[in-house]
């Protein structure tokens, strides 16, 4: 199928990374949004055999974009258009969501809500100009616990027009797998325990598709690290032994640079870090995950080469990104405020909920595989009546009330939001996010300007939760 947009043939069409030298020669300033160069990729979703664990483990049977997990890195410059031809080589329906990119509604990749699902053997063409530079990612949003859980995701990098100076710009895609002794995926995606508790947490963590890899580094170099949590449900808390990363962006949006002893990333969250390699030639340092404290493990190792330091003191260049261009929400009596009640799960108080327009009791909900509800509705096939409707330009304030015994990561489609308060307190710093992590029984208030028309999903990004009811829609008119 074609997007049918006029003017495609008059635009410069560029094929993936191979086009970079040509593109670099093009003037980048002053490009009209409708006439930007197009960066084109093909993504074929299909089964693939991929080595996650080192021998003697055999390759794992996965589902991948382009035969690898993560799939191809989609990299473009701010002001370019991204065109992706999705081919469905699976035996089931699929679609791709561009997480965190404020795309037009018809490009958001939500079957039955924003597009028809892509049938086996069929194609769908996505095309949009990302409005923000930053670190984003893409993944299947169809049968997501299974399709994303089997490997269907990748990273999108939209480079700033004037990026901070670094020696290398790298992506770390973290994932979590439940593998058996032969390194094959345990096919228990229908586990009621996962659905009703913390989600599908695995037993094997990978970084860029490999267990505990080495990152070769050179003393004195400055690296920008774009870290993405691509896992179904696992939360990461990374500690860089012997190094002090500076956070310059969260969920793709710039933040006043800051340092913390560890970096916590819930599912679907991202952080851009700047790290000066302050070790000496030949040294090695572990990157450790400590979130599940009883079981810390090595995510990666920084392996210094024997080369002499690139420079003796850290690079003297600014690292702050240009401020965000998002419209600032205004909290006053004209803003639209809604309590978003999150209920359900094991040890929860959910007794009844609407499914597909009919109220059902708890035993019927469980038989139906529905364990969670948003505002009294267990989300079903992504077509629910909107829980809120906002006119374009209006500030929306969502009071997210986690009335469950489990953590959740709430993601809004089409919009990034400000964190207004957590546990009733203002946050330490002003941040934009598209995914917020709620601890059990935690309340968090978020706000955004509803400026992207359409029907959009709001859901938990612990994918088993979303699939088992923790999803809703909101409308921007
Ligand atoms: Cu959840």
Strands (E), 290-335: 297-304
How far apart, in whole angstroms, are the C-alpha atoms of residue 125 and residue 105? 14
Residue 329, domain member (yes or no): no
Provide the pLDDT confidence category of residue 356 given band limits of 50, 70 and 90: confident
Cα 462 to averaged position of ligand 1 atoms, centre (Å)? 5
Note whether 42 and 138 are same-domain residues: yes
Cα 102 to averaged position of ligand 1 atoms, centre (Å)? 22
Among the candidates 161, 181, 212, a domain finishes at 161
Residue 86: beta bridge partners? 43, 124
How many Cα atoms occupy the beta-carbon half-sphere of 354 within 13 Å?
13
Residue 382 near residue 113 (C-beta atoms within 8 A): yes
Question: Does the pLDDT of residue 414 top 60, yes or no?
Answer: yes
Question: What pLDDT digit, counting tens, does each position of 272-308 carry?
Answer: 999 999 999 999 999 999 998 877 889 999 999 999 9
Provide the pLDDT confidence category of residue 139 given band limits of 50, 70 and 90: very high
Residue 269 near residue 226 (C-beta atoms within 8 A): no
Q: What is the DSSP string of 131-159?
A: SS-EEEEEEE-SSHHHHTTTT-EEEEEEE
Cα 9 to averaged position of ligand 1 atoms, centre (Å)? 44
Question: What pLDDT digit, counting tens, does each position of 365-386 carry?
Answer: 999 899 999 999 998 776 788 9
Q: What is the CA radius of gyration of the chain?
A: 22
Q: Which of 86, 97, 89 is nearest to 40 (CA)?
A: 86
Tell which wins on pLDDT, 399 or 32: 399
Query: How many domains is the chain partitioned into structurally?
Result: 3
- State mean pLDDT over 62-87: 97
Note whether 108 and 222 are same-domain residues: no
Note whether 388 and 255 are same-domain residues: no
Cα 11 to averaged position of ligand 1 atoms, centre (Å)? 42
Note whether 431 and 461 are same-domain residues: yes
Note whether 347 and 454 are same-domain residues: yes
Among the candidates 141, 161, 181, a domain finishes at 161
Note whether 246 and 300 are same-domain residues: yes
Cα 318 to averaged position of ligand 1 atoms, centre (Å)? 38
Among the candidates 105, 127, 161, a domain finishes at 161
Cα 199 to averaged position of ligand 1 atoms, centre (Å)? 7
For residue 200, what are the domain limits? 169-304
Cα 144 to averaged position of ligand 1 atoms, centre (Å)? 14
Residue 321, domain member (yes or no): no
DSSP state of 357: T
Cα 417 to averaged position of ligand 1 atoms, centre (Å)? 18
Residue 70, domain member (yes or no): yes
Question: What pLDDT digit, counting tens, does each position of 216-244 carry?
Answer: 999 999 999 999 999 999 999 999 999 99
Q: Which of 119, 101, 146, 155 is nearest to 456 (CA)?
A: 101
């Amino acid at each position: 199928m074609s997007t049918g947009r006029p003017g495609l043939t008059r635009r410069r069409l560029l094929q993936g990374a191979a086009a970079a030298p040509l593109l670099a020669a093009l003037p980048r300033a002053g490009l009209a949004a409708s006439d930007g160069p197009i960066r084109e990729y093909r993504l074929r979703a299909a089964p693939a055999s991929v080595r996650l664990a080192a021998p003697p483990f055999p390759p794992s049977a996965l589902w991948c974009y382009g035969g690898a997990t993560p799939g191809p890195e989609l990299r473009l410059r701010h002001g370019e258009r991204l065109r992706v031809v999705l081919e469905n080589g699976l035996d089931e329906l699929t679609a791709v969501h561009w997480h965190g990119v404020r795309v037009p509604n018809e490009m958001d990749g939500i079957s039955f809500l924003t597009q028809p699902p892509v049938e086996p053997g069929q194609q769908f063409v996505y095309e949009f100009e990302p409005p923000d530079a930053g670190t984003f990612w893409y993944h299947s949003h169809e049968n997501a616990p299974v399709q994303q859980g089997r490997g269907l995701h990748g990273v999108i990098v939209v480079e700033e027009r004037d990026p901070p100076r670094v020696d290398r710009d790298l992506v770390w895609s973290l994932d979590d797998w439940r593998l058996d002794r032969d390194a094959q995926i345990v096919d228990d995606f229908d586990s009621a325990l996962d659905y009703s508790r913390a989600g599908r947490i695995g037993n094997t963590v990978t970084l860029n598709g490999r267990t505990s890899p080495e990152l070769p580094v050179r003393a004195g170099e400055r690296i920008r690290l774009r870290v993405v949590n691509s896992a179904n449900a696992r939360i990461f808390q990374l500690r860089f032994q012997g190094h002090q990363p500076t956070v310059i962006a969260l969920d793709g949006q710039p933040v006043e640079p800051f340092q913390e002893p560890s970096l916590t990333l819930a599912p679907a969250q991202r952080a851009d870090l700047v790290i000066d390699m302050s070790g000496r030639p030949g040294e090695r340092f572990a990157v450790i995950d400590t979130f599940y404290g009883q079981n810390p493990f090595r995510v990666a190792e920084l392996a210094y080469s024997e080369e002499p330091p690139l420079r003796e003191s850290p690079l003297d260049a600014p690292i702050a990104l240009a401020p965000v261009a998002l419209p600032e929400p205004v909290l006053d009596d004209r803003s639209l405020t809604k309590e978003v009640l999150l209920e359900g799960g094991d040890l929860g108080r959910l007794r009844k909920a609407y499914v597909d327009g009919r109220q059902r009791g708890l035993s019927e909900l469980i038989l139906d595989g529905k364990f969670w509800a948003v505002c009294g509705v267990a989300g079903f096939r992504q077509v629910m009546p909107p829980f809120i409707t906002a006119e374009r330009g209006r500030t929306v304030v969502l009071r997210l009330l986690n009335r469950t015994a489990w953590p959740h990561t709430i993601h809004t489609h089409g919009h990034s939001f400000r964190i207004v308060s957590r546990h009733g307190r203002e946050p330490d710093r002003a941040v934009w996010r598209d995914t917020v992590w709620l601890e059990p029984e935690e309340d968090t208030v978020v706000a955004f300007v509803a400026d992207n028309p359409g029907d959009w999903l709001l859901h938990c990004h612990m994918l088993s939760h979303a699939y088992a009811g923790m999803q809703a829609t909101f409308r921007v008119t």
